[in-house]
Amino acid sequence: MSLDLVMSMMEIPGKSGKERQIAEFIVAKLKKSGVPESAIQFDNAHKKSHIGGEIGNLIVKLPGTVRGPRRLLMAHMDTVPLCVGAKPSRDGDVIRSRDPRTALGGDDRAGAAVILQTWLTIAKQGLPHPPLTLFWPIQEEVGLVGARYVSAAKLGKPQLCFNWDGGAPNVAVVGATGDDHLEIEVHGLASHAGAHPEDGVSAAVIASRAIAQLHEEGWHGLVVKGKNRGTSNIGVLQGGEATNVVLDSLRIRAEARSHDPAFRGKIVAAITKAFQAAAKQVKNAAGQCGKVTVDVRHKYESFRIDEQEPVVQSALAAIAATGLEPLTRISNGGLDANWMTAHGFPTVTLGCGQSGIHTVKEELSIPQYERACEIALLLATGKH
Ligand SMILES: [Zn+2]
C-alpha cells in the first residue's frame, strides 16, 4: 500500500480552526474518485465554535451498492499547533517529522487518511458496500467542537459508527469519561497591606483554605469514595498585582472528571462547598467576609457502549480478522465519540498507529497504520 496519501495529509498545515486546506485536499480526492458534488457537504459547526474557524465539518453521504445499515467512518481533520510545519519522513517502520521542532500530525491525519484511503480503495476496486457516511470533523483538539456542533441530521442516521484517532489499531475504545469545567471567582477586600492589613480580606487565604480542605478530605486529584472514582484538578490560579495590597481577587479554573455523571456532580459540589465555606471563615477586623462565585460548564458527557452491541462486535471481529488480538478499553480523556454518542450515534474509536501524540516525539507505525486501513475496509464494506 502506498504511504503517499498519509504522508501528504500529515504535511498539510491545519491546526484547529484552520482546516480549509486539508478539507480541500480531501474533497479533491473524493471528486477524482467519482463522488458527485451533491454528496459532499459542509455544515456550520465553526460558526458555533468559541474560536470561530475557516470551515465546518466535512460530511459525505453515499448510497450503498448493497443493502444494510448505514455505516459511518470518521476522523478529525485538525491537529495541535505543534504539528504545523511537519516534514513527514520514513525511517524504517515508522514515519516521523524531519523537522525536530514539530510533532508529526499523525493525530489525526493518519485517521483522516484511513477514511479517505478506505473510500478510494472501494471506488477503485468497485467493492460492494452498504450505505456509507464519511465524516471529517473540525476542531477536536480545542474541545471536541466539530462533533459537538455537527448538524446531526446531515449524517443520514448511521447505525454503526467508527472513529479513528490516536493509539493502536487493535484497541477499541467503547467508553470515555465526562468532564466539567469550573470557573471560580474569589472576591476578598483590598486594603493597604502595610498600613491597614486588618481591613482587608485576602482572596489568597480563602482559596488556600478551600484547596487545603479539598486535599485533606480527598476531593482533589484522584478522588475515590467507596466504589466511586473520579479526578479533580485546580489547574489555573490568577490574581494580584502588588505586594502592598491585600489580594482582593483570584480567578481559578478547575475541572472534575468521572465516568459516573452523578459522582462527577458530587465532586463539583464538594469543590463549590469548600470555597463557599472558606469565604465565610475569613473575616477582616470589622467582621466582613469575601465571597465566591462558581460557574460550572459541562464540557462533555461520559458514555459506555455495551460490548454486546453490534458496533462493538463488528469492530472486534474486524480487528481479529486482520490477525490482531482485539481489546476494549475505556478512556479517561474525552473523544469526539462522547458527542457522537450524546447525539444518539454510539461510536467505537480505534487507533491507527500513532504514538507520542502532541509532542515532538510523535511517530506513526507503518505496519499499524496499514492494519488500521485493513480494519476500516472490512468495516466499510460490511464484511464484519
Ligand atoms: Zn486526536
Compute the distance from residue 141 Cα to the ligand 1 centre, in Å.
7
Tell me, yes or no, whether 169 and 56 share the same domain.
yes
Cα 274 vs. chain centroid, distance in angstroms?
30
Which domain CATH number covers 160? 3.40.630.10
For residue 244, what is the domain's CATH number?
3.30.70.360
Residue ranges making up the domain that contains 320: 4-176+302-380
Helices 106-125 & 366-380 angle (0-180, nearest 10): 50
For the segment 179-232, what is each residue's pLDDT rounded down to a tens digit?
999 999 999 999 999 999 999 999 999 999 999 999 999 999 999 999 999 999
Radius of gyration of the chain (CA): 24
CA-wise closest residue to 70 among 333, 331, 369, 310: 310
* Helix and strand element counts for the chain (H, E): 9, 18
Compute, in angstroms, the gap from residue 208 CA to the centroid of ligand 1.
Answer: 36
pLDDT tier, 341 (very low <50, low <70, confident <90, very high otherwise): very high
Q: Check whether residue 164 and residue 37 sit in a common domain.
A: yes
Residue 1 pLDDT > 80, yes or no? no
Closest CA to 271 of 226, 215, 228: 215
Q: Which of 300, 335, 356 is the C-terminal boundary of a domain?
A: 300
Give the CA angle between residues 187, 188, 194 to the nearest 5°. 145
Q: What is the pLDDT of residues 120-167, one digit of tens each?
A: 999 999 999 999 999 999 999 999 999 999 999 999 999 999 999 999
pTM, rounded to two decimals: 0.87
Alpha helix segments (H runs only) across the chain: 4-11, 20-32, 106-125, 145-148, 203-216, 261-281, 310-321, 336-342, 366-380
Query: What is the SS3 assignment for 267?
Result: helix
285 with 306, same domain? no
Distance 79 CA to ligand 1 centre (A): 7
- Of 256, 284, 300, the last residue of a domain is 300
My answer on whether 17 and 142 are in the same domain is: yes
CA 107 to centroid of ligand 1, rounded, Å: 5
Whole-number Å distance, alpha carbon 167 to ligand 1 midpoint, is 9
Q: State the distance from the centre of ligand 1 to the C-alpha of 128, rounded, in angstroms.
A: 30
Which residues fall within 8 angstroms of residue 149, CB to CB, at 6 or more apart? Answer: 43, 44, 45, 48, 49
One-letter identity of residue 243: T
Q: Does residue 347 share a domain with residue 256?
A: no
- Indicate the number of domains in the chain: 2
Distance 335 CA to ligand 1 centre (A): 8
Spatial CA neighbour of 106 closest among 169, 190, 192: 169
